[in-house]
Structure 1
């Protein structure tokens, strides 16, 4: 048997009729940018997350870039971010001219709140909280620190659509929260897409101006902006998937539960979930000292795996200018060298799950 790491078309086939009807409706309407579908999705997504406003954008990186721009964070400013995050998070900071200040992750792969205060300086303006792999971070502790030092909080929710902390959804705890709708995300489009959520009307309006060449009215450009608009077709598809997101999340939770209960092997560590958080299991990540050997073994069994992420941002070629070296963030580097993501996707059959579980137990 072959079990791919991810199989995206199974989600499509679950609701195929709805998607195809929506596509024809949008195509026949003849309005493809910033129309009714985007407007309705923004309202529905804000309601789902629990914020007053949502603004659709072209992708998740644009959401990060525009978020820091809207907050006025730029050259001379510092932003705290976890050292094991995907590099796009850091790009959102540096493209605005600000400097990332890295903090080690905790045992849940998220920002370690206990290590934030020692990194705060008079240049610190914000904390970027990345809810990695689908689990909400220790956001209450992070918000308390932000309030103490009068810092902005930005959430990166690219992997955590619908995850909870004490009953509240990720994306509702910050000044600005950024989402990606890349096809492999839990709330994935059929192309690129992104959004920002916020309770601040002024910020929401500023983001709408920035996404559309810096204008509210055509040809009246208030600032130098971006071309970052969620298109009608993707917004329509996202509205359908959003209506089914809780059931899709439940399916992922059931697969993860089966892995956690049935995989018994001391050669690797299974992921843990913080007591007051939930995970939507965007990724199911194990920690293994023999990662290369485990990955090769699974590959020979026909089981696909992916490493998220093999090079931490501070050691990437793109950020050589920051002057970091190997050993500066040993926990993040240890994760980069030893974590492995296993197959977990909507539409994964019971037989496929059993095959993966048996292979892991036999390793």
Structure 2
């Protein structure tokens, strides 16, 4: 039998449709912020029913801008606290540090999302916000955390990097959040080369982010270009902003990916159901999806006793899983919180993400699962 080669992720691009979008940008001579980014923003609002959407170069930029604007507009001080999770990619928590705020780590629950009880225990007079991460597309106990924030007067940022297409009780999560940030990075469910979207609840914050993501300039280049091509150079610079806006080439690819998002997520859920079937009564512990959550299934995670040994065995058999994530308190900039989140630490040592992408077949899933069951302890 030929050696298997089953990687964790393989992005799926509808190449010809993407090239049509890119060709239109090149033919028009407009590849930056402009007609495609506007179109994607409008279609994302239509898809999610969120009131605002601004296309950015990355989800990391979106998280940074969310805390930058919330801090400035709400008069938070340096050193004020944001309750967050240690089970996430470091960009989530770096965005807090970028803005001279302090990440305070709460523990995770069985869904690997913030545990509401732990969140409440971490609230102090200096707490200003909570950052909820929907890991793997799972909504966890998001609704409970949203309720806590409302009752305590805390801002809420939803890191929805994995959640493109996730529904909670039939609706897109985040309508009650101050900001929702999505990722369209290359291996995400709605892939581009790299980009993201920030969806503020308040119109005034959406207006500010459009300026701040274009160096603080109050008129972007697309708006400053008249129909006859006259370039309107006179503008004001209202903020010391960033160069974080998205471009039309990435937006064009995103428009194609959005077209197939629900279809692709349905297949991801089918793959997850196949894994569930294979692991039923096997003793392999899988991470559950929260009740009422229709997950995007960006990840399929298991918890295993001999994780590193199993990783090596899977690699030897042509299967290449991943780890999402290492407990952030293991990193030097967050080491002050080491030992404060025992569930997260346990998960960090035992979690394994199995291959999850559109090119997997039923046969592939069975092979991966059989190999896991053979070597798992």
Question: TM-score, normalization: structure 2?
Answer: 0.90
Note if 1:105 corresponds to 2:121: no
2-structure distance, mates of 1:347, 1:29: 34
Report the alpha carbon displacement of residue 236 of structure 1 after superposing the two structures with TM. 0.7
Structure 1 equivalent of residue 239 of structure 2? 223
2-structure distance, mates of 1:337, 1:119: 24
Report the alpha carbon displacement of residue 74 of structure 1 after superposing the two structures with TM. 4.9
Q: Aligned in 2, Cα 1:89/1:60: closer, same or farther, shift over 3 Å?
A: same
Report the alpha carbon displacement of residue 265 of structure 1 after superposing the two structures with TM. 6.2
Of 162-171 and 299-308, the range deviating more from structure 2: 162-171
Note the alpha carbon deviations across 1:149-207, whole angstroms, 9 max, x for none.
11111100001111111111134331111111110111111x22111012311010011
Corresponding residue to 1:346 among 348, 358, 377: 358
Corresponding residue to 1:151 among 119, 139, 154: 154
Q: Aligned in 2, Cα 1:167/1:108: closer, same or farther, shift over 3 Å?
A: same
Q: Aligned in 2, Cα 1:74/1:283: closer, same or farther, shift over 3 Å?
A: farther
Contact kept? 2:105, 2:340, Cα under 8 Å? no
3-state SS, counterpart of residue 84 of structure 2: strand
Structure 1 equivalent of residue 207 of structure 2? 205
2-structure distance, mates of 1:74, 1:183: 35
Structure 1 equivalent of residue 315 of structure 2? 299
Contact kept? 2:274, 2:362, Cα under 8 Å? no
3-state SS, counterpart of residue 32 of structure 1: coil
Corresponding residue to 1:357 among 344, 369, 372: 369
Report the alpha carbon displacement of residue 319 of structure 1 after superposing the two structures with TM. 2.8
2-structure distance, mates of 1:294, 1:74: 46
Of 96-105 and 158-167, the range deviating more from structure 2: 158-167
Report the alpha carbon displacement of residue 299 of structure 1 after superposing the two structures with TM. 1.1
2-structure distance, mates of 1:330, 1:308: 16
Report the alpha carbon displacement of residue 264 of structure 1 after superposing the two structures with TM. 4.1
Of 85-94 and 225-234, the range deviating more from structure 2: 85-94
Structure 2 equivalent of residue 52 of structure 1? 51
Question: TM-score, normalization: structure 1?
Answer: 0.94
Note if 1:63 corresponds to 2:62: yes
Q: Aligned in 2, Cα 1:74/1:95: closer, same or farther, shift over 3 Å?
A: farther
Alignment of 1:252-291 (within 5 A): 252-264=268-280, 266-291=282-307
Contact kept? 2:188, 2:298, Cα under 8 Å? yes
2-structure distance, mates of 1:103, 1:59: 25
Structure 1 equivalent of residue 136 of structure 2? 133
How many positions carry a matched residue from both structures? 354
Report the alpha carbon displacement of residue 294 of structure 1 after superposing the two structures with TM. 1.2
Note if 1:180 corresponds to 2:179: no
Structure 1 equivalent of residue 262 of structure 2? 246
Report the alpha carbon displacement of residue 349 of structure 1 after superposing the two structures with TM. 2.3
Contact kept? 1:162, 1:280, Cα under 8 Å? yes
Of 83-92 and 212-221, the range deviating more from structure 2: 212-221
3-state SS, counterpart of residue 161 of structure 1: coil
Note the alpha carbon deviations across 1:290-314, whole angstroms, 9 max, x for none.
111211111111111111123x222
Note the alpha carbon deviations across 1:305-344, whole angstroms, 9 max, x for none.
111123x222202334xx233x322111111100011101
Structure 2 equivalent of residue 237 of structure 1? 253
Structure 2 equivalent of residue 80 of structure 1? 83
Of 331-340 and 78-87, the range deviating more from structure 2: 78-87
Note if 1:193 corresponds to 2:199: no
Corresponding residue to 1:164 among 151, 167, 172: 167
Contact kept? 1:109, 1:132, Cα under 8 Å? yes
Contact kept? 1:267, 1:288, Cα under 8 Å? no
Structure 1 equivalent of residue 145 of structure 2? 142
3-state SS, counterpart of residue 302 of structure 2: strand
3-state SS, counterpart of residue 285 of structure 1: strand
Structure 1 equivalent of residue 223 of structure 2? none
Across the aligned residues of Structure 1 and Structure 2, the Cα RMSD in angstroms comes to 1.5
1-structure distance, mates of 2:38, 2:190: 17
